[in-house]
Amino acid sequence: MKGGEVFIVALVVLLSSCKQSNSNAEPWSKEALEVRANQHIDSSQWDKEMYQQDLDVYAQFNEVLNSYPLNKSPFPVAKYDYAVSSLPFTIESEKGNFKGVRIGEVVNENSEDVKVRLTLMVLTKDQNATENTVVESRNYPYLTAQGIITCYENTFDWVFSASPEDYAHLLVNMKLFDLRFGETIIIYPQENNAFYYDQIKDSPNNYDDFEMFKKKVLEQLK
C-alpha cells in the first residue's frame, strides 16, 4: 500500500463529507435515531450527488479501500451535515516511539475545534512503522473509522464506532474496548504477536494543546 494513496483517499473522504453544522451537538433520542434509520432506507431521501462522488472515488481507489480491515464500499445515505477528523501523530519516548491516531468530529461549522472520541497508539521500536486510517462520516450521527498500524513487532487492525449517546467501542485485533471507561488506548506489542494494553481515562479534549496531553500520557506508562 502506498502512503500517498491512503492520504489522498482520506482527504477525499473528509472533503466529500458535509461541513455545515454538527448536529451531534444536539441530543439524539431513540425516536430521532429511528427516524434517521428510516431516512437511510428511503431512496427519496438519499443524497444522490454525494453517492455518485463515492462511486467515483471507489472506482479510482478501490485497491486501497479494499486493503482496510473492512472493505469500504460505496453506499447511499440520507443528506446530513457532519464533518469528521483523523489526526495521525508520533510520540518519542525512552521506551520507543508511539505511532498513533486521533479520531474525532468537528464541533460546528464556525470552528475548527475537534472533539476527540478516540486516541489509539502503539509502542514500537520500528522507526519505519506506518499508520493508515479512513474515518467515515457517512454513518452520521454515528462516527466510524478503521485503520492499520504496522510495525515489525506486529500488525494491528482496528475498527471504531461511536454513537451520539456517547457510547463508543474499539476493536484491535479482536480485543474489544468499551471507551466509556477510557478513550485513550495504548498497545504494547509482545512476542509471538501477543500484546498488552492500557486504557486511560484521559483525552486530548482535557488539555489546551496536544503536547500537554502527550506529556501526561508518558507519565502514566507501564
Q: Nearest to residue 160, comparing CAs of 216, 128, 130, 116?
A: 116
Structure confidence by residue, pLDDT tens digits, 168-219: 999 999 999 999 999 999 999 999 999 999 999 999 999 999 999 999 988 8
CA angle 158, 22, 56 (to 5 degrees): 60
What is the model's pLDDT at position 128?
94
Q: State pLDDT tens for residues 75-133.
A: 999 999 899 999 999 999 988 999 999 999 998 877 778 999 999 999 999 999 999 99
Mean pLDDT of 38-62: 97
Burial class (CB in 10 A: 0-12, 13-18, 19+), 47: middle
The pTM for the full model equals 0.87
Residue 222 is predicted with a pLDDT of 66
Pull the grid cell for residue 130. Answer: 506506518
Cα–Cα dist 11/43, whole Å: 27
Please tell me which residue, 130 or 166, carries the higher pLDDT value. Answer: 130
| Angstrom distance (rounded) from CA 126 to CA 74 | 34
Domain ranges in the chain are 3-65, 84-219
In this prediction, residue 166 carries a pLDDT of: 87
Dihedral in degrees, nearest 10, Cα atoms 181, 31, 20, 76: 100
